[in-house]
């Protein structure tokens, strides 16, 4: 079988994870990596992995006729132009979330993908996690009947640095976007309305950027089900990623994964391991599996299970959450077009 030739744009933390998963893949050849900050360090990294091309110029990579598909792992503001460029060059695309922070821009990117007839997969890696997948399977298989309440807990072990906060797009767009996708995934229903409450309880730096670090987000689904997400930028005990779907026949819930099942019982209590520390530990296998899925999709010709529409919908929910928080009232997704045209509410 001819190997699929892939290029990666953006060799930050997540780009490197994808690189290593692609390198381990028997049917893939990772031919090129581009990064604005390519220098001696990245050169050593690429050399150790036998990656032939390292460039600062993503266009060069996209124009390379050998390359079948690109992974867009650069900063969010570059996603839309890169998707459009790659689509026009006939490359299949794996793009990190979110596609953009503007619904209009995202729609333009999706239009370009559609016109070019290339595949686009969005990096909602959690859908590939063994636990979340199992929840979806139980819900889809009818084990809990009709979903009534979807509950998602999503808390990071520690807040990102100030520089990241500044450009993150805010908790709703940057962090909760994974949870919005998860809500759609496990419930199998579209979100129609959002109410978001938030606070700055972890670190005052978030207030400086008009952001929150703690949030409770209520969702209403087209099916009539309700949902709630709670987010925090800092869980002292580590990465906390749980979900429960409660329905007419019962509930399915998942707990965190842990480094071991060891329980130590002494005079001072019964102590078990903290959860796997953060997303790299928790989702290591999920990252490999999403790459596998993308490659399978290219090989089989079947559309990827997580496409541009999924990216768009999660962004729409995130935008509604931002607006809801500002307006302190529930916001219907159907209102978005109208609200987007008005000057931002106080």
Give the residues lining the site for its own copies (CB under 8 A).
Answer: 24, 130-131, 133-135, 138, 143-146, 148-149, 151, 155, 195, 197-199, 201-202, 214-216, 218, 220, 224-228, 230, 232, 234-237, 240, 246, 248-257, 259-267, 269-274, 328-330
Between residues 265 and 300, which has the closer beta carbon with respect to its own copies?
265
| Least distance between its own copies and beta carbon 91 (Å) | 28
Q: Give me the phi and psi of 173, to 5 degrees please.
A: -85, -30
Backbone φ and ψ of 141, nearest 5°: -80, 0
Least separation in angstroms between CB 146 and its own copies: 7
Q: How far is the CB of 222 from its own copies (least distance, A)?
A: 12
8 Å CB contact between 151 and 243: yes
Cβ neighbours of residue 201 under 8 Å, at least 6 residues apart?
Answer: 213, 214, 232
Angle at CA of residue 173, ends 178 and 339, nearest 5°:
125
DSSP for 169-220, written as a single string: --HHHHTHHHHHHHHHHHH-S-EEEEEEEEE--S-THHHHTT--SEEEEEEE
Of residues 75 and 272, the one with the C-beta less far from its own copies: 272
Q: Which two tokens stand for residue 198?
A: 């938030």
Query: Of 110 and 252, which CB lies nearer to its own copies in the complex structure?
Result: 252
From first CA to last CA, the distance across the chain in angstroms is 58
* Cβ 80 to its own copies shortest distance, Å: 33
Q: Give the span between the Cα atoms of 14 and 52, in whole angstroms.
A: 20
Nearer to its own copies, 221 or 294 (CB): 221
CB 130, min distance to its own copies, A: 5
- Nearer residue to its own copies within complex by CB, 32 or 144: 144
Contact 246, 144 (CB under 8 A): yes
d(CA 339, CA 327): 11
Shortest distance in whole angstroms from residue 190 CB to its own copies: 16
**Closer residue to its own copies (CB): 4 or 252:** 252
* C-alpha 276 chain-centroid distance: 18
Minimum gap (Å) between residue 164 Cβ and its own copies: 21
Q: Which is nearer to its own copies, 252 or 314 (CB)?
A: 252
């Amino acid at each position: 079988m001819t190997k699929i030739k892939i290029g990666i744009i953006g060799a930050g933390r997540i780009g490197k994870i994808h690189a290593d998963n692609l390198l381990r893949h028997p049917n893939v050849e990772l031919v090129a990596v581009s990064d604005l900050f390519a220098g001696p360090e990245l050169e050593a990294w690429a050399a150790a992995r036998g990656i032939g091309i390292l460039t600062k110029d993503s266009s060069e990579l996209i124009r390379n006729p050998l390359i079948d598909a690109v992974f867009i792992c650069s900063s969010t503001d570059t996603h839309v132009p890169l998707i459009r460029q790659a689509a026009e060059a006939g490359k299949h695309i794996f793009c990190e979330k979110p596609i953009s922070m503007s619904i209009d821009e995202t729609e333009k990117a999706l239009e370009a993908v559609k016109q070019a007839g290339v595949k686009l997969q969005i990096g909602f890696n959690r859908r590939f996690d063994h636990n979340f997948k199992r929840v979806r399977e139980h819900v889809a298989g009818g084990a809990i009947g009709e979903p009534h309440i979807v509950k998602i807990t999503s808390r990071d072990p520690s807040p990102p640095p100030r520089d990241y906060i500044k450009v993150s797009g805010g908790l709703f767009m940057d962090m909760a976007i994974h949870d919005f996708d998860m809500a759609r995934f496990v419930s199998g229903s579209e979100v129609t309305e959002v109410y978001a409450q938030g606070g700055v309880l972890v670190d005052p730096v978030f207030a400086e950027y008009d952001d929150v670090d703690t949030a409770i987000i209520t969702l209403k689904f087209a099916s009539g089900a309700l949902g709630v997400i709670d987010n925090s930028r800092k869980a002292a005990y580590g990465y906390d990623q749980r979900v429960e779907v409660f329905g007419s026949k019962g509930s399915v819930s998942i707990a965190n994964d842990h480094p071991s099942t060891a329980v130590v019982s002494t005079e001072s209590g019964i102590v078990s391991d903290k959860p796997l520390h953060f997303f790299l530990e928790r989702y290591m296998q999920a990252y490999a599996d999403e790459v596998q899925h993308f490659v399978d999709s290219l090989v089989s010709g079947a559309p990827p299970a997580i496409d541009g529409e999924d990216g768009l919908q999660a962004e729409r929910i995130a935008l509604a959450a931002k607006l809801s928080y500002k307006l302190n009232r529930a916001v219907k997704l159907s209102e978005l077009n109208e609200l987007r045209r008005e000057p931002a509410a106080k």
